Structure 1
């Protein structure tokens, strides 16, 4: 049994992380700007309201947890600091060496074996998502420069399909994975990776 804080718990992925963590018997603190949007509290679940873009909003809320999972996400394709500023706020509330997992995107990297078509598609996607990817890159740079035991999980295009139970994973995100990732598979991987030392202080590509 693990004590987990989920930041961004009211989002589409965060909700599934909370549900799966509770089903696995973990204690969960669900943190969101509007935690009332989540299901009623039950055994093992605690709600906390916080806006990660407000300095100091997480102080004391993350204490005593074995791991923190950030399911923060930006809305739209415009300029954003949700990933970098939100993660900086999380980092400021954690002790050195604490376990933190964040959600990034497989679109940040191009696998070494990608063909010309895949590379062209990646360039077009980078242009389309440039603001989001720029902020995700800032987030990953922040983590790499710090002292936390972090993992940046890079899923491919997220879907609401059921879990396959067989996620494809590439530690260091150097090889191609699948084109789509169900949020249920992503949530399961995040929970499994908490205690997996192969994922410590690195990026991991994942798909269904």
Structure 2
């Protein structure tokens, strides 16, 4: 059993991941920006915390007490929500990656210093984060010609392109980061089914779209996430996951 923090726990992916984590006996901290909006999140083995993944003070604090962090945040959950959002912050995902990695690194350094000074047991102990799993976006997968989905106007709506570019910038930041963190970005397909059953089965791909592999249930996305926390198979990379 481990302690897992889930940023964006109030969303569809975050809720599914929380459910899967608890079903396997993990303790969960559900991190949301406004806990008052999610009175139903707290439960047995689940504590709710207020926090923004873009705030390094928050990520550092979370990193102190958890072995794994999942990031399932988004500024908007769909086209209508994006339209209501108005001006999209193009740095949303980049800032999130920066704060996440800085927070984890800060705690790693503090633990090392504590060990050298013999300060264990004085508020700086803990195993620290050993795994980061982030949820990606299918729009920056590529087709057989090597073109990203977001660059194909027939496959991806032009009005969602700024959101896709912001997501892609976050992925690029991860790839370029000078970090020791063991991160993974799991990228689900275009069609995620909120009512789909948990089958416990999924396939893992790479950067290229697999024809016909365009569906997955949120429940099975959650299975893939917790599998990669319990038994990491992919490290410091991005993979796709589909049914």
TM-score (norm 1): 0.85
Query: Which residue of structure 2 aligns with residue 12 of structure 1?
Result: 12
Query: Which residue of structure 2 aligns with residue 79 of structure 1?
Result: 88
CA-CA distance at 1:39 after TM superposition: 2.4
Q: Residue 107 of structure 1 contacts residue 126 of structure 1 at CA under 8 Å; is this kept in 2?
A: no
CA-CA distance at 1:192 after TM superposition: 0.6
Counterparts of 1:32 and 1:4 in 2: how far apart (Å)? Answer: 14
Gaps of 5+ in 1: none
**Structure-to-structure mapping, 1:154-173, within 5 angstroms:** 154-157=187-190, 158-162=192-196, 163-170=198-205, 172-173=206-207
Counterparts of 1:60 and 1:46 in 2: how far apart (Å)? Answer: 15
Q: Residue 113 of structure 1 contacts residue 176 of structure 1 at CA under 8 Å; is this kept in 2?
A: no
Q: Residue 84 of structure 1 contacts residue 139 of structure 1 at CA under 8 Å; is this kept in 2?
A: yes
TM-score (norm 2): 0.74
Q: Identify if the C-alpha distance between structure 1 residues 86 and 174 changes in structure 2 by more than 3 Å, giving closer, same or farther.
A: same
Choose from 181, 186, 189 the match for 2:221. 186
* TM-superposition CA deviations, 1:107-143 (whole Å, max 9, x none): 20224379xxx98896021634211221111111221
CA-CA distance at 1:86 after TM superposition: 2.0
| 2:180 is the counterpart of 1:145 | no
Q: Residue 72 of structure 1 contacts residue 86 of structure 1 at CA under 8 Å; is this kept in 2?
A: no
Q: Residue 143 of structure 2 contacts residue 149 of structure 2 at CA under 8 Å; is this kept in 1?
A: no
**Structure-to-structure mapping, 1:1-208, within 5 angstroms:** 1-36=1-36, 37-39=38-40, 41-54=42-55, 56-75=57-76, 76=82, 79-80=88-89, 81-95=91-105, 98-112=130-144, 123-124=152-153, 125=156, 127-146=158-177, 147=179, 148-157=181-190, 158-162=192-196, 163-170=198-205, 172-176=206-210, 178-208=213-243
Q: Residue 52 of structure 1 contacts residue 89 of structure 1 at CA under 8 Å; is this kept in 2?
A: yes
Q: Identify if the C-alpha distance between structure 1 residues 122 and 145 changes in structure 2 by more than 3 Å, giving closer, same or farther.
A: closer
Q: Residue 75 of structure 2 contacts residue 92 of structure 2 at CA under 8 Å; is this kept in 1?
A: yes
Q: Residue 29 of structure 2 contacts residue 49 of structure 2 at CA under 8 Å; is this kept in 1?
A: yes
* TM-superposition CA deviations, 1:12-34 (whole Å, max 9, x none): 21111111111110011111112
Gaps of 5+ in 2: 77-81, 109-128
Counterparts of 1:121 and 1:6 in 2: how far apart (Å)? Answer: 27
